[in-house]
Structure 1
Amino acid sequence: MSAYYHNSPYGNNPQYANNGHYPNGNNNSNSNSTNGNVYGGNGNYGYGEEMVEFDVLDHDHGYGNDHQYLNNINMNDNNGYDPNERSQVRSPPKPIRPGLSPTEDMGSPGWPLAATRRGHDRQHVDSFASVSSTPAGSRSGTPAFARYFPAPVQYQNNQSFQSHQSLTALVDQPPSPLYAKDWVQQGSIARIHDRDDADIWKGWRRVVFRFVPFLTFANTALYLFYLGLRIACVILAQRAEHATFAGAWIFIALEVSTAIPSLMHNCWTMWSVKERHRPKLRLTGDDCPTVDVFITCCGEEDDVVIDTVHAACDQDYPMDKFRVIVLDDAKSSSLEASTRQLALTYPNLHYMARTKIPGVPHHFKAGNLNYGLEQTRLMPGGAGQFMAALDADMIPEQQWLRAVLPHLLNDPKMALACPPQLFYNTPPSDPLAQSLDFFVHVIEPVKDALGVAWCTGSGYVVRREALDDIGNFPLGSLAEDVATSTLMLGKGWKTAYVHEPLQFGTVPEDFGGHLKQRTRWAIGTVDTAFKLKFCLYGDAVKQMTGAQRFSGFLYATLSLYTILLTASLFAIPVILMWGRPLVAYANDEQLRWLIWACFAATMANRLCEFALFIPAGYHTGQRGSRYQLWMSPYIALCIVRSFFLPSWLGGQTQAFKPTGSLGSALEERDPKRRKNLIRRLWTILVNYMASFHLAFVYVTIVGVCLTSYRCFYTQDPANFRNIFLCLITHAFWPPLTFLFICTSLWTPVSYAIDPPSMPDREELLQRDPKTGVAHPTPSSKKIAFGGQAAWFELEYTVATAFTIFVFVYSFFYL
């Protein structure tokens, strides 16, 4: 085990600084007031009588009579939220023997390590304290913690966590010798680099990315010109032919529908003209603020959770300044036992499980987090100045806390700072677009530059006083992270995005888990938008800036837009089977101008995509574009059910739920245990409703074949010009929109036929043989280039080459 050894001697009696004495009455300053929380407050989390138990972990592992305490709050009920939610500088470590507690005064409130010295008489706890049957926010009696620890300090109601005051003691200290370089500023916060993402992408990529706002503007302008020309030509053709070109109008509507998401993103990415200036910082020394690290879990595999817990305990941070608290919403006895065992090495590790009464809303992850917030007020030393949260599968890097906290300490109005969510088990080519690379490497930095950084759900650190201001985590939302950061912005707080690779988790390993995760995110985002009036007006958002309001409106609207996009997809096979022209014009001159405008708009779009996708990778951006199409039917269905259909018509507020009964998981990414092809196809096509995607692709292909046959049948076979013009105006108008849509919607089917193979999770990790701490291997942190990515690149190349061919052809034969 590696830990921090403090210079002050260990006394015979461990000093428990700031142990809380909790008077009778209400210890929750938010239980009777919503504090602007549009979700109805958080005073009652739906549990009645709670039994708080302080167990003694009795062990003899070579330490004599040493023993350590693990906070164990026993609850019941296994209902919970979905588990799929989801260059280090370190002082030379010296080991701390289990059973010893550092007593050095670190300048800011510290906590006692839950241990006693070897040679002391053991304290046997033969009973646990009973807390009266009142909500957690209004307890009476003396908590069990107060029975076993002295209580010299009182934490009163409406306590203010002035965490920014800890900077007073920090900035007067010289930097650590390990940071003694010319770019390190004096003080305990080291400025490592002028850009926090300096190690992620650099060089020529940054130069090209600077042109994104101008390329985006040009791309949007050319597309609008092309669209206007299309509409004008249809009108002129109708006047010349005295007929209505319904197919042309439908095709225009379809193109606009598929282009709107890109246009809306274009409007946002043009804001990247505002450069982002967030430096790479590190908190140095041992004089650090106190942090409660919550690890929320609910039914995940024990080894996955323990790897996260182990890495969280192994932080490069003074052990007496942070606690790691496992919030188990499934009350797993095996996880509790594993946590107890690990607590023998890390005395700052605790396990908690809340009571969830059947029939009483427990508010999923938000309720679990709020429970943890209330319980930390009752622990020795009281609540930490900051709270951090990790998903059960998200393994933090050792410098995680030291990298994120300086951004909060530098600004007393900074409420929350979060790093990107990255993953180490993404399969080659990422066929389902499960990585969040485009969002975390492109969208979030732009949002951060405009002061609109969202909480990404894991790895974030938040100021306790900011949480108090909004009434803790908002209840009643499936996207508590987005709702939390939005409410903080509405209260005038700031949020930051730390663009460093500081945590790595796992993506869902099956198709159904991916659908459930993404539809839940979409429902949560839309639900939050409705409750906050799309961030346009209301008391909850009254202190938001214009950019913050626009961001909240944009991303909620994009989720709702999937309904219109899904409906418009039906138009493609209809007009192809109908045999009407997709493009109408009155003469060859108009057709020539249409081809030229189409070529300009397509080339501008390709160039803009290349520059915009650079921070995340070109192929990542392309996967995101395809994902928007094939995932739209699922998101649209769930949104309609959740917000528009009454219950008697099937309305229900939940993520995507497969039809029928699934006998067992497909295990499609395990080459040894995956189900056979027939089983995979049946499950994904029937239970997961991908039959819609299959039908769309095949009907569209049939329509293209029929239209092509008509062109060869109705035109003179010797007249290539007329045949070619018929083909491009009836089916093959550049840049072959039907091909891009068909290959995108084919994704679930191709995934069922040929799912990617992934090794066991352990093969993706590097595990320290001495400590057992595991971190992802360098190769597992990157998405490998696979056959599917090559296929889509070939398709894109063919479509672009065809557009160029038609453009050149127009100069000689029109």
Structure 2
Amino acid sequence: MAADQTYDIREFPHDPQILSGQRYRNHLYYVAQLAIWLGNLYFVVRFLAVLFSAHTWQMWLMLLVEAIFLHQLLVIAASKVEKNGPRKKLRLQGNQNLPRVDVLLPCCGEDVDVILATVRAACSLDYPDSRFRVLVLDDGGSMALKEAVLDLRSQWNHLSYHSRGRQSGMVFAKSGNLNYALTTLQGETQPEFCAILDADSIPTPDFLRATLPHLLQSPDAALVSTRQYFSNLPKGDPLSQTRSHFYTCQNAALDVLGLAIDAGSGAVFRRNAVVQVGLYPTFSFSEDWQLSQILHGMGWRTFQVQEPLQYGLVPDLLTGHCAQQNRWNIGHAQQIPAMLSSDYKHYTRTLRWNIACNGFGIVAGEVGCFFGFLAVPLLFVSGQVIPTTSPSVVKAQTWLALGQVLIMWIYEYLQVVHNGFRSAPFAHLENKWLSGSNILAILRFYLVSDKPKGSSFVTGSTLNSWNQHALSRCRKLYQDLLKNGVFYNFALILATIWAVSYAIASVMTAHNDPTFTSLVSSIAFPPLLHICYLTLTNNWVPVAYILKPPHYPDRKSHPPIDSKRPFSRPETKNEAVLESRWPGVGKVRKDILHLGSRIEVQELTKL
């Protein structure tokens, strides 16, 4: 019997903002296709114009920088699949004969109170307690956490504590921790599905009922990931810590293809699929990302659900945010040497090649942005940046360039409207101001030490110095400017402004009445102005953060619910029934719903 006939799965309507954006779906698709064709034509014309002219290094550098920042082929091409619409909003009904699930909660040195909040929410899920277990996997070896979990077992007997001992600072500890659960702890009792929650990610009561249907209806699907929402996000999200572009644009498009990337916490997977592909990979710090690629290479599909089903915590210091980004990029860099070694010959050649190329592409993107930003002031002071062989050559390059930049801006705004969220144009470049820091972290990891010194790579660990808020303002400013590299961003902004001023003065001095050719071949070339805008706006982000540090709200503080656009409560049992079955769930549920209200109000006020 088919999976969707075995279980009672119901479909619910999407939120209004998602439905309203769908009317722009066809517009986005056709604009994306136009952008692809126009972009290809533009770069062919530009390449030939430079090649068959008295070219200079400035012209080749300009063409290279354009290729880095203007060619969005991968992002734009992904939008082609969005013609199928967003993923359905499903709910698993009933309580009889539901699949068994293990909720895995790996932790390593995070604050005990933070972990326990997640534990209580996980134990209180709207799911029969006879059909799921909560396994706390403590790699921090905390006796305080062990005792607290054992105390909670009197309230929830489907909760248990497990530890491999103190693994803090060990390489690949999280993937090893999860594999320990999938093998040693599940040796006798093997569930059909497993869910993963980070130590600070509080799930909503209907977390399992909202995610399992997508796997139950698709036997060839191995994993469903959920978009990550946060309860302590500062107003305006100045550091793009929500990664909204990734979730709502890139991963949403991959989801329709069945190729969504697992973003870590809040994932639910089919246990036999992960065991079949060799468990969690241990060659990278980004084990969730690489697991997705391995599953795809072995014929499994993966999905993403956009609904707010979990609420985590973002690093509330710039140092913590930088360290988190560094760790992710080190993880992507690790894909390359791992796939070139003989240790993974059990993967097919095609799979190894795809994983290695993916890692190389991500690292190359960081390198490209770093040198691309540096090249902007150099291009402004260098004078002529395009060939001026003839007036027709100048006009062809200029008008095609203007059309290419314009269609990209139109695409960016349509993408925002279609996906129902507010984002700055070209948000796929979010956190590229950190490209230099990420490259340095990769080099330090391979050339100096591949182990963290005196701390942990776990973002929320109290062992990390960036989670200790007792630093003086001067010490914190020193740390941000030098250790986090913001001095480089500040210097780059000043250099760019100076270069633009110098270029304008030079053109005006050389030409009392500047011609069209003299302007568009230097300071007024549309792509150069566009890339200058990207350089200034991206590198201003950390500078603005230091000049006006944002306020990170405490998880327990909740603003009033917006009566006009209230948080959509999931369809589930009423609180009285839940309270009778799970004592104490009422307070947990109320806290989670308040969190949902706060997150949705923040999201909607951005629209």
Closer/same/farther in 2, CA of residues 602 and 489 from structure 1, 3 Å limit: closer
Distance 2:465 2:275 in 1: 44
Tell whether the 8 Å contact from 2:105 to 2:136 is kept in structure 1 after alignment.
yes
1:209 is the counterpart of 2:25: yes
Tell whether the 8 Å contact from 1:428 to 1:785 is kept in structure 2 after alignment.
no
1:382 is the counterpart of 2:189: yes
Matches of residues 386-785 of structure 1 in structure 2 within 5 Å?
386-528=193-335, 530-532=337-339, 539-541=346-348, 553-554=357-358, 557-577=361-381, 579-617=382-420, 619-620=422-423, 622=425, 624-627=427-430, 629-642=432-445, 647=447, 650=448, 652=450, 665=466, 675-676=472-473, 678-716=474-512, 719=513, 721-722=514-515, 726-734=518-526, 736=529, 737-764=531-558, 771-773=586-588, 774-775=591-592, 776-781=595-600, 783=602
What corresponds to 1:190 in structure 2?
9
SS of equivalent to 1:415: strand
Closer/same/farther in 2, CA of residues 552 and 284 from structure 1, 3 Å limit: farther
What corresponds to 1:77 in structure 2?
none
Percent of aligned pairs with the same amino acid: 26
Distance 1:266 1:653 in 2: 38
Distance 1:254 1:532 in 2: 29
SS of equivalent to 2:283: coil
What corresponds to 1:284 in structure 2?
94
What corresponds to 1:18 in structure 2?
none
Distance 2:16 2:330 in 1: 32
Tell whether the 8 Å contact from 2:108 to 2:167 is kept in structure 1 after alignment.
no
Alignment partner of 1:325 out of 135, 152, 165: 135
Matches of residues 93-112 of structure 1 in structure 2 within 5 Å?
none
Alpha-carbon offset, residue 462 of structure 1: 2.0
Distance 1:385 1:539 in 2: 25
Distance 1:358 1:589 in 2: 64
Cα deviation digits, residues 646-679 of structure 1 (max 9, x gap): x3xx36477999xxxx9975988xxxx8853x44
Tell whether the 8 Å contact from 1:428 to 1:784 is kept in structure 2 after alignment.
no
Amino acid in the other structure paired with 2:268: V
Alignment partner of 1:226 out of 42, 58, 70: 42
Amino acid in the other structure paired with 1:476: F
Alpha-carbon offset, residue 237 of structure 1: 5.8
Distance 1:251 1:602 in 2: 15
Closer/same/farther in 2, CA of residues 618 and 203 from structure 1, 3 Å limit: closer
SS of equivalent to 1:354: coil
Identify unmatched segments of 5+ residues in structure 1. Answer: 1-164, 172-186, 239-243, 791-814
Amino acid in the other structure paired with 1:313: C
SS of equivalent to 1:598: helix
Distance 1:779 1:357 in 2: 35
Cα deviation digits, residues 660-703 of structure 1 (max 9, x gap): xx9975988xxxx8853x44432211111222222222122222
Distance 1:742 1:785 in 2: 27
Tell whether the 8 Å contact from 1:629 to 1:744 is kept in structure 2 after alignment.
yes
Closer/same/farther in 2, CA of residues 714 and 490 from structure 1, 3 Å limit: closer
Distance 1:357 1:422 in 2: 28
Distance 1:572 1:188 in 2: 58
Tell whether the 8 Å contact from 1:190 to 1:281 is kept in structure 2 after alignment.
yes
Identify unmatched segments of 5+ residues in structure 2. Answer: 562-574, 576-583
SS of equivalent to 1:292: strand
What corresponds to 1:254 in structure 2?
65
Cα deviation digits, residues 300-325 of structure 1 (max 9, x gap): 22222111111111111111111111
SS of equivalent to 2:404: helix
Alpha-carbon offset, residue 393 of structure 1: 0.9
Tell whether the 8 Å contact from 2:101 to 2:191 is kept in structure 1 after alignment.
yes
Distance 1:588 1:278 in 2: 54
Report the count of equivalent residues.
Answer: 571
Distance 1:550 1:272 in 2: 23
Closer/same/farther in 2, CA of residues 640 and 212 from structure 1, 3 Å limit: farther
**Normalising to structure 1: TM-score of the pair?**
0.63
Distance 1:413 1:589 in 2: 56
Alpha-carbon offset, residue 740 of structure 1: 2.3
Distance 1:331 1:766 in 2: 39
SS of equivalent to 1:387: strand
Closer/same/farther in 2, CA of residues 480 and 429 from structure 1, 3 Å limit: same
Closer/same/farther in 2, CA of residues 679 and 782 from structure 1, 3 Å limit: farther
For the pair shown, the structure with the greater C-alpha radius of gyration is 1
What corresponds to 2:156 in structure 1?
346
Alpha-carbon offset, residue 212 of structure 1: 2.7
**Normalising to structure 2: TM-score of the pair?**
0.83
Closer/same/farther in 2, CA of residues 626 and 469 from structure 1, 3 Å limit: closer
Alpha-carbon offset, residue 641 of structure 1: 4.2
Closer/same/farther in 2, CA of residues 343 and 779 from structure 1, 3 Å limit: same
Tell whether the 8 Å contact from 1:220 to 1:266 is kept in structure 2 after alignment.
yes
Alpha-carbon offset, residue 219 of structure 1: 1.1
Distance 1:609 1:351 in 2: 47
Distance 2:7 2:392 in 1: 70
Distance 1:234 1:606 in 2: 25
Alpha-carbon offset, residue 365 of structure 1: 0.5
Alpha-carbon offset, residue 409 of structure 1: 2.6
Tell whether the 8 Å contact from 1:681 to 1:749 is kept in structure 2 after alignment.
no
Tell whether the 8 Å contact from 1:438 to 1:620 is kept in structure 2 after alignment.
yes
Cα deviation digits, residues 352-376 of structure 1 (max 9, x gap): 22224799x6631011112223443
Closer/same/farther in 2, CA of residues 451 and 530 from structure 1, 3 Å limit: farther
Amino acid in the other structure paired with 2:405: T
Alpha-carbon offset, residue 765 of structure 1: 8.5
Distance 1:331 1:666 in 2: 19
Tell whether the 8 Å contact from 1:257 to 1:568 is kept in structure 2 after alignment.
yes
Amino acid in the other structure paired with 2:374: F
Amino acid in the other structure paired with 1:603: L
Closer/same/farther in 2, CA of residues 199 and 356 from structure 1, 3 Å limit: same
Distance 2:11 2:241 in 1: 32
